Structure 1
Amino acid sequence: MPAGSDDARPAGRPLPSLPHTWRPLGVRIAVLGFGGMLLVVCAAAWFGFDESVRDRFTWLQRSTLLVMGAAFASCGWALARARVTAEVDALVVVNGFRTRHLAWEEVLGIHLAGGAPWATLDLADGTTISAMAFQGSDGSRARDGVRAVRALIDREDPGER
Structure 2
Amino acid sequence: MSSTPAAVTAPVVARPQRARVIAYVLAAVVVVVFTLIAFGLHGKTGDGPGYFQRGDQAAMIGLGLCAAAGILLMTRPKVEADAQGVRVRNIIGSYDLPWEVVRAVTFGRGAPWLTLDLHDDEKVAVMAVQMSDKQYAVKAAKRLRALHTASLTPSVVE
Answer whether TM exceeds 0.5 for this pair: yes
Determine what percentage of the aligned residue pairs are the same residue: 24
- Counterpart CA distance in 2 for 1:30 and 1:158 is 42
- Counterpart CA distance in 1 for 2:83 and 2:132 is 28
Question: In structure 2, which of residues 14, 17, 20 is the aligned counterpart of residue 28 of structure 1?
Answer: 20
Secondary structure, counterpart of 1:79 in structure 2 = helix
- Counterpart CA distance in 2 for 1:130 and 1:138 is 16
Q: Whose Rg is larger?
A: 2
- Equivalence for 1:119: 114
- Gaps of at least 5 residues in structure 1 are 1-11
- Equivalence for 1:86: 81
Secondary structure, counterpart of 2:111 in structure 1 = coil
Runs of 4 or more consecutive aligned structure 1 residues displaced over 6 Å after TM superposition:
none
Q: 1:16 to 1:30 in 2, by over 3 A?
A: farther
Q: 1:36 to 1:128 in 2, by over 3 A?
A: same
RMSD: 3.0
Q: Cα deviation per residue 1:10-50 (whole Å; 9 max; x = unaligned)?
A: xx9932622x3100001101100111111112212322x26
Q: Does 2:62 correspond to 1:66?
A: yes
Give the alignment of 1:10-159 within 5 angstroms: 14-15=7-8, 17-18=10-11, 20-47=12-39, 49=40, 51-52=42-43, 56=52, 63=59, 66-67=62-63, 69-70=65-66, 72-155=67-150, 156-157=153-154
Count of aligned positions: 145
CA contact (8 A) 1:78 1:95 kept: no
